Amino acid sequence: MKKNIVIQGALAAAIILLICYQFFGGANIPPVKIRIATGGSSGVYFAYGNAIAETLERRMNVPVTVIQSGGSVENIRLLREGRAEIAFVQNDIMTYAYNGTNIFSAEGEFKDFSAVAGLYPETCQIVARREIDGILDLRGRRVSVGDEGSGTELNALQILGAYGMTYSDIDVDHLSFGASVTAFREGRIDAFFCTAGVPTPAISQLAAEGEARILSVGDAHARSLISQYPFYSQQVIPSGAYPGMGEEASTVAVKATLAAGGKLDGQVVYEIVKLLFDSRDEIAKTLPQAGGLNRDAAIDGIPIPMHPGAERYFFER
């Protein structure tokens, strides 16, 4: 049986050879390199990226480089510049990049990338000292809103705006997630915004130390956000999600999504998505967010075109 397969690029060729080797017993496989742009070392992106990398390397013998980055905005730029093949990106940041709006208005639209799969809700978490009761109580406090120009900062601005607040109401710090955790622990900030999967390990550690709580975004404010920014959804952080958290917290969420650069061949993406789902339960043993991966949610709420390789995988199922 003959198959005519058009292969674009050395990366795709190597993956196809690897698949043939696995099923038909080949010889030496040419080296392959995939670069995955993630986030800060203490966040879920970085942990998830390493889990995917470890699985690809072990099951498919594909060497993977995990890039630690500032998160979604930087990851889009890494895709644009060809310095990553795959990236973790919030679906709201995807929207801005694809259309060339908001933080990407100066750079212009970026069409040469596509979605691979939606992974899990990225919950907007406002971590505050226990004596702070609500978002309005952040007035006059020192608050980290994330790296300047990051997805977290945009979420912070939009949530504050829903409460009629601006940066003039708080003492602003632009710190990375890891730096925010350190500053909070050392008493240099009173609160910080974090957009990440629940539970986030570093927040779990802060909660276990007895200093942190999660502030809620009220229903009316959440509905206002969703009407203005449709990529948001309401999300509940259940009681017990973090140590000492006796009550649930209501907030909003965006979606963590895998994206691929335009040069990544369809067959490559197909095999990666297949492996991602086949390995879900295994990855979830060490990364709870992976347990929520399902095929319906993976294609829901995606604001840009799906990669042809991903489309093929989901269509077959």
Whether residue 19 has pLDDT greater than 70:
no
* Candidate from 72-81, 132-141, 252-261, 294-303 with smallest mean pLDDT: 294-303
Task: Flag the least confident range among 154-158, 188-192, 283-287.
Answer: 283-287
Q: Provide the pairing of β-strand 113-129 with 212-215.
A: antiparallel
Q: Which residues is 194 bridged to in the sheet?
A: 125
Token pair in block for residue 175: 């710190």
Per-residue pLDDT, 60: 82
| Amino acid type, 91 | N
Rounding to the nearest 10 degrees, give the CA dihedral for residues 35, 39, 42, 45.
-80
Q: Is the pLDDT of residue 83 over 50?
A: yes
Residue 259 and residue 91 in contact, taking contact as beta carbons nearer than 8 Å:
no
Q: Provide the mean pLDDT of the chain.
A: 88
Give yes or no for a contact between 119 and 253, defined as CB atoms under 8 angstroms apart: no
DSSP 8-state code for residue 29:
P
| Separation of CA 211 from chain center | 26
Mean pLDDT of 250-266: 93
Q: How much is the average pLDDT of 19-23?
A: 39
pLDDT in tens, 37-70: 999 887 889 999 999 999 988 888 888 999 999 8
Quote the pLDDT of residue 317. 81
The neighbouring-strand residues paired with 101 are none
The pLDDT assigned to 26 comes to 32
Q: Which residue has the higher pLDDT, 115 or 11?
A: 115
- 21 band by pLDDT with thresholds 50, 70 and 90: very low
**Kind plus residue range of the DSSP H or E element containing 249:** strand 249-261
The pLDDT of residue 219 is: 94
Q: What is the per-residue pLDDT across 127-176, written as a single tens digit (0 to 9) for each?
A: 999 999 999 999 999 999 998 878 899 999 999 999 999 999 999 999 99
Residue 211 neighbours by CB distance under 10 Å? 16
d(CA 197, CA 238): 13
pLDDT-derived band of residue 32, with 50, 70 and 90 as boundaries? Answer: low
Give me the pLDDT at residue 196, please: 87
User: What mean pLDDT is predicted for residues 2-23?
Assistant: 40
Spatial distance between the Cα atoms of 53 and 35, rounded to a whole number of angstroms: 9
Whole-number Å distance between alpha carbons of 118 and 126: 23
Q: Is the pLDDT of residue 236 over 60?
A: yes
Residue scoring higher pLDDT (2 or 216): 216
Pick the more confident residue, 9 or 235. 235
Domains and CATH numbers, the chain: 10-120+255-316 (3.40.190.10), 123-254 (3.40.190.10)
Q: Alpha helices, DSSP H only, in the chain?
A: 10-24, 44-60, 72-80, 91-99, 151-162, 177-185, 201-208, 219-228, 266-278, 280-284, 295-298, 308-316
